[in-house]
Chain A
Amino acid sequence: MSNIGIQQKVGVRQNLLQDASKRNKLNGILPFAGLLLVILFFTIVTGGSILDAQNLNNLLHQSFTVVIVAVGAVFVYSHGGMDMSLGALQGITQLGAAWVITSSILPPGLAIPASILIGMLVGTITGGVHVLMGVPAFVASLCVRYICSGITYTVTSKQDIYIPYTEFTQYNSGVIKALVLIVVLAAGYIIFEYTRFGKNLKAIGGNITVAKQSGIATKLNIVLAYAIIGGLVGLTGFFTLTRVGMINASSGQGLELNILTAIVLGGFPLTGGSASRLHSAIIGALTVTVLTNGLTLWGIDPYIIGGIKGLLFILIVGVTYDRSKGKLVL
């Protein structure tokens, strides 16, 4: 091959790399820009009401669950997994916490660990069914969802379950929730970005066969990822219970869809892999919360809110979808 031919090939390769780098930078900025635009837009249309102190407190409470579960979702989606049981799982973790709180034998303080443990246990079952029985994650989590829903329906069938709300109002404090958020975000960031476990999950998401051949215990890592998301769902289950004060058969419903929306809006790759970043999921979670809050503050009718959210969803996904790889990119 002539020198000119080699130089041309190198030139083409460099151009492709530069294009890819630009595209990655742009796609990395877009979700941030999207969130800022959404905040700016609602600041204008609500006359600044969205950013007043009371509403910032509301946003903290309203984003608490979705941000914390999004941290857990990062571990699942980064390896190419999926969990459709999150809402039903949150329902039974709330049930477990309520049982401890209303029990005359156990101290109410055990409600938090009980809720987390139930979440981790169910998460482990989902992961276990997925990797040990070879059932696709979608199907395994769907089955677990039905089991969890069945338990919640059965227990709440006679009547809604209430907790002594006034005894738990301290858990609704913005300070406590902010502290919990900081701890979960920091721990999630360190574990996902800087530990072998986090890197293993990205490797599994990139190519599971190569990951296995590289000596990664893929099954163990996957099950652990589901246990983590389960534990975090359990944590939010307790706080949701103390925020609402009761459980019925609908408790937790739709959480998995909110998380999926957050993941996609944040530009997180649904197929997982090395491009997975924790901040993408957090940005997506905040965008979902601000959108819902802002549209209500703007006074938009609820049935139009759904349509607007759908249109924005198409717009954001349309802009951030990398067609060359057939997946969403950061």
Chain B
Amino acid sequence: MKKFTMLLSIVLVLMLTLSLAACGAEKAVEDKPAAKPESTEGFKEIEVSDESGYPKAADLPKHKIGVLYWGYTDLLGSQIKKNLDYLGKEFNCEMVYADGGMAIEGYVTATENLIQNGAEGIISIFALPGMIEACEKAGVYLVQGLNETSDEDTLTLMKNSKYFVGMFTENDYECGYTMVEDLYNKGCRNITYMSPTPGMAANHDNRVRGIEDALKDYPDMQLLSNYRGEAQVEALQNFAAVYPEMDGLIVTGGTQGGTESIYQTIQSEGLSGKVKFATIDIGEGTAERLESGDLAWIAGGQYPTTGIAFSALYNALVGTPVIEDCTKTVYRPFMSIQSPEEFEQYIKYVDGDIPPYTGDEVKALIKKFNPDASLDLYEQYGKAYGIQDVVERHKDLF
């Protein structure tokens, strides 16, 4: 009887899991488009126009690409997956996803497993020496997206590798600097900032360096306090209690629900209307906070960078590499949003049915399809990137 009960409970757990998965796959038709960012649905398939001259997915050879990020359930992670799934379809590539787990060594393990799974190329947030060597031994291409490496020995390893493609990331330092500058221009003179534990994420550390340098350049702006850690809600509560003069707050990102928690705390601590908030990573409640004026500046739209990294990897895979110096990071800007109108456009054009770069636009970066594809073109894409750029390119697609 006991065994029967146990088996029954296991079957029930399985049924519940499967039914939840099925619910998740259903289309949420009632969600209002401007209420919150949506990233669980796939992008619309866009027909390759005859004028473009680019091959259709079915005419392309099949490739298997591994993807290695911290996870795919938070907003940014799900956007990355959604975009790469879309490009996989456009380029006839099977996308295989893995995560690195809690510790950095998990990324080496995941790389080995992806290689064993038949991946011909890997897009990853990290390019650790152990990963570069594993890819080199297996003859698998590796590209770093949304992060960069600055260690000299690792850069030498990359340079000597036949299979390391390059690094593509947002300019985190510049973003940190801009947040301070923006708050300064909006009249803030007493600010605080919060960021994850130092050493946990290089991109956040770079943003902090940008903040610190900007503060040196604006000496009449006072840093009341800062917090480096994960208990940011509690830290903000403390700031609110100790520094009544606080008029500006910077958080270097909160992709796993962090931004929403900060919005709530601003409201619950009575900081609404007193403190201007600047941050990265768009989450729920952004529209309302931009409307109320609490949110002065927010940046997002970084997930297409993984698509750009995909194109560089594809170029290498088909034998037409375009990045000559793989140790030189190709920087791309964050997409900054400062008004409810811009946010509405963001929801429609960046987080809507069509990705910021369509299959054709990514195919234009592939030298095999477009002989003019070069590093310059990659840089042009980066320089132009912003809300207005996407609106301009895609206004006829909606």
Contacts and interface: CB of A to CB of B under 8 A. Distances in A.
B102 interface: yes
Interface stretch (A158-166, A186-194, A277-285): A158-166
B104 A247 contact: yes
Q: How large is the interface on A (under 10, 10 to 19, 20 to 34, 35 or more residues)?
A: 35 or more
B128 A246 contact: yes
Contact of A158 (B71, B97, B129, B198): B198
Interface string B95-109: 011110111111111
B205 interface: yes
Contacts of B103: 87, 250-255
B13 interface: yes
B105 A240 contact: yes
Interface in A47-105: 49, 54-55, 58, 61-62, 65, 87
Interface in B78-120: 96-99, 101-110, 112-114, 116-117
Contacts of B205: 157-159
Interface in B195-244: 197-200, 202, 205, 228
B397 interface: no
B385 interface: no
Interface string A4-16: 0000000000000
Contact of A156 (B101, B133, B198): B198
A244 B197 CA distance: 21
A220 interface: no
Contacts of A318: 6, 10
Contacts of A245: 128-130, 154
A61 B108 CA distance: 10
Main secondary structure of the interface of A (DSSP, over half): helix
Contact of B151 (A65, A240, A246, A296): A246
Contact of A253 (B73, B102, B116): B102
Nearest to B64: A299
A153 interface: yes
A311 B10 contact: yes
A299 B94 CA distance: 10
B193 to A, nearest CB: 15
B34 interface: no
B189 to A, nearest CB: 27
Nearest to A54: B116
B392 interface: no
Contacts of A157: 197-199, 205, 228
A302 B13 contact: no
Given A243-B108, A302-B72, A249 B199 contact: yes
B17 interface: yes
Contacts of A218: none
A293 B111 CA distance: 11
B205 to A, nearest CB: 7
Interface in A140-169: 152-160, 162-166, 169
11 contacts: A159-B199, A162-B129, A165-B157, A240-B105, A243-B108, A246-B129, A248-B199, A248-B200, A251-B105, A302-B71, A314-B13
Interface of A: 49, 54-55, 58, 61-62, 65, 87, 152-160, 162-166, 169, 172, 240, 243-255, 292-293, 296-297, 299, 301-303, 307, 311, 314-315, 318
Given A54-B116, A165-B154, A302-B97, 8 more contacts: A87-B102, A87-B103, A158-B198, A253-B102, A296-B110, A302-B71, A302-B72, A315-B10
Top 4 closest pairs, chain A to chain B, by CB: A245-B129, A157-B198, A156-B199, A249-B199
